[in-house]
Amino acid sequence: MATDPKQNDITNKKLDDLQQNTEDSTGQFLTTNQGLKVNDDQNSLKAGERGPSLLEDFILREKITHFDHERIPERVVHARGSAAHGVFKLNEDMSEFTKAGFLTDTSRETPVFVRFSTVAGSRGSSDLARDVRGFAVKFYTEEGNFDLVGNNMPVFFIQDAIKFPDLIHAVKPEPHNEIPQAASAHDTFWDYISNTPESAHMIMWVMSDRAIPRSLRMMEGFGVHTFRLVNADNKACFVKFHWKPVLGVHSVAWDEAQNISGKDPDFHRRDLWEAIENGDFPQWEFGVQIVPEEDEHKYEFDLLDPTKLIPEELVPVRRIGTMTLNRNPDNFFAETEQVAFHVGHIVPGIDFTNDPLLQGRLFSYTDTQLIRLGGPNFHEIPINRPVVPIHNNQRDGHMRQQINKGKTAHSPNGMSGGCPFQAGMMQGGFTSYPERIEAGKIRGRSKSFFDHFSQAKLFFNSQTGPEKQHITDALSFELGKVETLSVRERMLYFLSQIDEGLAGGVAYNTGMHVPKDLKTPLNQTKPADASDEEYASIVKEGSLDKSTALSMVLSSPTDTIQTRKIAILAADGVNDANIETIKNALTKAGAMCEVIAPKLGFIAGTGDTPVAVAKSLLTTASVFYDAVYVPGGTNSVATLEADPDAVHFLNEAFKHCKAIAFDADALQVIKATYFGRKLPEDTSDATVLMEGIITGGDASKLAQQFIKAIAQHRFWEREKSRKVPA
């Protein structure tokens, strides 16, 4: 159950107090970094009014030097991010499984800081690139920080950390010309993938609409790896972590995503910021899939393999708490940029498994902060500080903030009475789960990791028709941009291992044939020392044909229009009474309406009140809205019908499968569009003319039908006729 998000300010205040390092210049004099009041910040010190500047000008030099050093290295991956503060509230005591305080004490509110990101692009790249999204949560718990550094997809491309640099080199812009930015649609990426069969499952996810979310607020989150929970009796179980967005999981259309990338590269960042400013606090339910230790080998996949998920039909997701994001950062750099996540930041009650990807990550995250944040004291940056005190014998290093008192910095010591003491288990000291390991030292992988295609098939088969079509289209787009024909060919063969129809569709769109076999086989599909028989026993087709939870369309609620954005197209002479009725009904249902007209300012309504225009056709576009309403009014209709931008707006909304409602007397505007020509003439009583296209009736009846349509999110079935000139 969701908590009332507006109650949570106390926790944020607590976090601020504990990490205090804020500055407010209101009413203050300008000073140098040494606290000297500055008398002139606009002119440098010169020898005479027209003379040379003087080296003596320490104020100029301090200001410019600081400026010269403003940039720090961007994250090598996940450089583009947006973040927010919030709170986590547990609803169900999990002490049966874990001793972690924030998962057992339902009275606690744990402050969190969450950073969402894309992976491939640089800091300034577009939010709507086709990409997996980072979903990293820092819980400031009373036992220290716990970071759940996950993604919006439950699996990953590779099974072993040693492959990560190659994967990232392949997806990043190509090294000779640094093209393309934030896009996987290029030769090196697909060359790598076509030689990496273990990526099959993840490729299905990134080619699905999950890779182009409608909003960061409408994404699921996953811890990806299997972790361990450990209870007070030191009994462990396996766990997968989930975030389920209360608003459901929704995407935009690929053509829409590409348009948005040009018109507003900050689309997701802006959306998150504005939702929080408006008090529409994004919420997720926190879920766990728990597998008893004795069931470790029960499934047809290996729990340690990060290219596999546990289907929700096999192990349901228990929703145990709610996270609410309720405060925007005060300063992007200090917080969103300097936040340092690490999978190794854990608390008693949670532990790792031997997933080889997770094990490699345990090294990487501290290492990356050292170069990015400049030294070992990055934990002292306010956003990274735990809310509990730190006591240890670590000292010095670049930019040390802590002034440690006393003369001992060694342990064991007698001079300081042995302080700081080691904490025993009963005193909350962290102890690693004593997993028993007996093994030879090898470079290799378990045979249980070699079934690369079963879950890729499960994912593809679980999609609805339009979702499958989107995957085919996305692959056709990506491979269509690949210039090396042998790479395309290998990929078609690769896809044929997942689904013949999928491979055939992509082959058709790219003017190729699906090869029956390859001259050089796909690497690593089969363990080198496995017989065909043994291999057949590894590749057990799963016990499931389909999993509803894998389809966004089938698993997301279609009964809410909370925070959807609706465009109202209008011009002088519009029926302002109808605008009011529709706007009130939609706003009451939680949506946001904006009037869009040929120019900014006000337009005259048929009633007495002028109507305020939020955006002009020049400054906005239909890709920024979830639905469109065209009110009547003779002059408004005549203006819009003759305005190519208004007609384009509607064509595009149609092409992107959005709900469109119009008053019966606005039919002329619709008739001017491409799709209007195909509509039946019946405009009687709140009639649905085609999926998601509604008209007629009085404004309040129309509003009710419109709300139902907007709640469907998109009418993908309409895509068959989507070759619209928009």
Which CB sits closer to ligand HDE, 83 or 553? 83
H or E, element range at 555: helix 552-555
| Active-site residue flag, 470 | no
Specify whether the CB–CB gap between 626 and 658 falls below 8 A: yes
For 604, how many CA atoms within 13 A lie in the half-sphere containing its CB?
A: 6
Furthest C-alpha separation in the chain: 92
Catalytic residue among 8, 78, 225, 259: 78
Which CB sits closer to ligand HDE, 133 or 713? 133
| Residue 222 CA: distances (Å) to CA of 1, 90, 132, 494 | 19, 18, 12, 26
**Smallest gap from residue 16 Cβ to ligand HDE (A):** 21
**Smallest gap from residue 469 Cβ to ligand HDE (A):** 28
Which CB sits closer to ligand HDE, 307 or 472? 307
Specify whether the CB–CB gap between 207 and 185 falls below 8 A: no
Give the footprint of ligand HDE on this chain (CB under 6 A). Answer: 75-78, 81, 115, 117, 134, 136, 149-151, 156, 161, 164, 224, 339, 341, 357, 360-361, 364-365, 368
Instruction: Name, in order, each residue with C-beta under 8 angstroms of 246's C-beta and a sequence gap of 6 or more.
Output: 2, 282, 283, 284, 285
| Residue 57 CA: distances (Å) to CA of 31, 44, 392, 696 | 15, 7, 42, 73
Residue 682 CA to residue 679 CA, distance in Å, equals: 9
Q: Which residues of 34-44 are buried (b: 16+ CB within 10 A; e: fewer)?
A: eeeeeeeeeee
Strand-by-strand arrangement of the 659-662 sheet: 615-616, 592-597, 565-569, 627-630, 659-662, 693-695, 687-690
**Smallest gap from residue 503 Cβ to ligand HDE (A):** 27
In 593-676, where does DSSP find H-type helix?
Answer: 634-641, 644-655, 667-671
Q: Count CB-CB contacts under 10 A for residue 715.
A: 19
**Smallest gap from residue 151 Cβ to ligand HDE (A):** 4
**Smallest gap from residue 154 Cβ to ligand HDE (A):** 9
SS (H, E, C) 310-340: CCCCCCCCEEEEEEEEEECCCCHHHHHHCCC
Q: Count CB-CB contacts under 10 A for residue 717.
A: 14
| Active-site residue flag, 21 | no
**Smallest gap from residue 77 Cβ to ligand HDE (A):** 5
Which CB sits closer to ligand HDE, 357 or 482? 357
Which CB sits closer to ligand HDE, 75 or 99? 75
Residue 160, SS3 per DSSP: coil
Catalytic residue among 8, 85, 145, 151: 151
Residue 682 CA to residue 696 CA, distance in Å, equals: 9
Which CB sits closer to ligand HDE, 219 or 570? 219
User: By beta-carbon distance, which residue lies closest to ligand HDE?
Assistant: 134
Residue 346, SS3 per DSSP: coil
Which CB sits closer to ligand HDE, 169 or 678? 169
**Smallest gap from residue 342 Cβ to ligand HDE (A):** 7
Question: Which residues are the active-site residues?
Answer: 78, 151
